[in-house]
A and B are shown apart, each in its own frame.
Chain A
Amino acid sequence: ETGVTQSPTHLIKTRGQQVTLRCSSQSGHNTVSWYQQALGQGPQFIFQYYREEENGRGNFPPRFSGLQFPNYSSELNVNALELDDSALYLCASNTFETIRETQYFGPGTRLLVL
């Protein structure tokens, strides 16, 4: 148990729709990172938020956007869903000062786009 929770656990959407995924960080953590894991692949970095500001972004289009709230919980929003967006979405939290030591992952949200 890492203390990081994600909701929902599973989600089915159709192409073109929009989706919001949520992550609740471990208490005291001010940094959250989001990763996309396609089937049979390793997780790929989407973006990171530190104290409510985006602090790094991977190679993902602008239709992937995020928010971090004052309580350090976070949302990942994906607009205009495509079939290739079907994946496990993982969030990870830590303090920025210790982020190179480890990151604590949530259980993920499995998104299926039909």
Chain B
Amino acid sequence: AQKVTQAQTEISVVEKEDVTLDCVYETRDTTYYLFWYKQPPSGELVFLIRRNSFDEQNEISGRYSWNFQKSTSSFNFTITASQVVDSAVYFCALIADQAGTALIFGKGTTLSVSS
């Protein structure tokens, strides 16, 4: 079975703080894909990043960085110097190749950044 766990339900930080959103996944497939999506109050899911299971290289994009560790089945997301515009619900998701092409989402982490 495939599963994504986001243990942090809500996180509140003050602007300019760094924040890390945790994601732990479960799958028996050797080929799988991990994603992060952002959902602002408008509801639309905005794609942030995708990694495949063969590429453990960490990635940085501006203030965003992602740490993929197969040894701990984790794919954590860090926002450096957070801004009010980062306030949203963030979802980690998984596509496990043998299970088709459906995205399996975690329950999401609500990030609130105050000024």
Contact = CB atoms under 8 A, between A and B. Distances in A.
Interface in B1-60: 4, 6, 33, 35, 37, 42-47, 50, 52
B106 to A, nearest CB: 5
B91 interface: yes
B101 A99 contact: yes
A45 B104 contact: yes
B113 interface: no
B44 A56 contact: no
B103 interface: yes
Given A100-B33, A102-B35, A107 B102 contact: no
Interface residues of A, number: 29
Contact of A58 (B35, B93, B102): B102
Contact of B50 (A48, A102, A105, A108): A102
A110 interface: yes
Q: How large is the interface on B (under 10, 10 to 19, 20 to 34, 35 or more residues)?
A: 20 to 34
Interface in A8-66: 31, 33, 35, 40-45, 48, 55-56, 58
A88 B104 contact: no
A43 B37 CA distance: 11
Interface string A96-114: 1001111111111010000
Contacts of B100: 48, 56
A3 B33 CA distance: 24
Contacts of B50: 100-102
B111 interface: no
A90 B108 CA distance: 16
B105 A44 contact: yes
B30 to A, nearest CB: 14
Contact of B44 (A35, A45, A102, A107): A107
A96 B95 CA distance: 14
A90 B85 CA distance: 23
